[in-house]
Structures are given as structure tokens and as C-alpha cells.
Amino acid sequence: MVKKYRKLPVVIEAVEWTGNNLREVIDFVGLHPFAEKWTWEEYEKVVKTDGLKIFTLEGSHMATIGDFIIKGVHGEPYPCKPDIFAKTYEDADAESAQAAKYRACVEALNADSMRPTEVRKIMEREGFVIDNLDDRWQKFAFTLYTMLAESASEAGSALAGLEG
């Protein structure tokens, strides 16, 4: 039976191969024993002439300029084409910034005296423009804001009913 699977959210390390950062790539993945027969200058010439070869668990793969060299979940290096990388990975540091914005909104929601207008101001200050519901964080923030606004409205109606 064919089933669908979701890729687990795993943070990986990667470096983009620019053609001018061989030392950075080798520091990242390590020099394969095969290349130890050359001096560094000879190795640089080989890479310029023949291309950068990455030794993976499945064998060697050529990395072209623009590829991302990734360390997999077991520390194994492999090249990844930029278009696939862009569809598969996002900047983990940027995700942390989004998470901080989310936390600020949640803290605002948890404050006893916070009103929906105040929460909206905090959301806008934190960069949640509630008109881009394609962005998952903004969608989440909008949902939280809506829930708070509905709760405040219900509480206001309940208070009005008690007073009347």
C-alpha cells in the first residue's frame, strides 16, 4: 500500500559551493584520504580542472558551483542542487526569529489586562502583518488574535447582559 510521509524537521548544516571557497568546504566535510596524495595547491588545481568531488555514503558525487554541501543526519556529506535545497530547507536562524515573534504574541495573549487592540499593536510591532495568510506564522498569529478578539467580545456581551 502506498502511503504518504512527511519529512521530519531536522536542522542540518550546509555550505554553498561557490567555486572560490574550497578551504571552507573541505574544513566542513574533511579531506578525503584519496586527495591526501596532493599538496593543497595541487588539489586546488585538480578541483579547478575536474570539479569538486564529494564522497557520500553512496559513493562519489560531483558538486557544481551553486550546490549546497549538506551534512546529513549521520554527519555524512552530500551535494544538493540549489532549487531542491530551497524547496526542502529554510534558514534555522530565521525560524528562531519567527519563533521569538510568536512568543511575544503568546505572552501578550497570556497577560491578564491585554486587550485585542493592544495585542494587534504588539503583533504589528513584531512584524506580523495580518494580510499574508500564506505565511504560517502570520496565519497562526492571526488565529490567536481572532480567538482573543472573540473571547473579548463574548466577555463584553456577557458583562453587558449582567449589567442589564
20 — pLDDT class (breaks 50, 70, 90): very high
Q: How far is CA 126 from each of CA 13, 18, 23, 42, 105, rounded to the nearest angstrom?
A: 28, 34, 39, 52, 8
How do residues 111-132 score in pLDDT, each as one tens digit? 655 566 666 676 677 666 655 5
- What distance lies between CA 27 and its chain's CA centroid? 23
Q: Is 38 exposed, middle or buried (0-12, 13-18, 19+ CB in 10 A)?
A: middle
Q: Hey, what amino acid is at 60?
A: S
| Percent of the chain clearing pLDDT 70 (strictly above) | 59
Average pLDDT over the chain, rounded to an integer: 79
48 membership: H or E segment, kind and range: helix 40-50
Would the pTM count as exceeding 0.75?
no
How big is the chain, counted in residues? Answer: 164
How do residues 45-58 score in pLDDT, each as one tens digit? 999 999 999 999 89
Grid coordinates standing for 139?
Answer: 496565519
pLDDT for residue 97 is more than 80 = no
Q: How far apart are CA 71 and CA 13, in angstroms?
A: 6
pLDDT for residue 63 is more than 90 = yes
Q: Angle formed by the axes of helices 136-163 and 92-110, to 10°? A: 0
3-state secondary structure of 12: coil
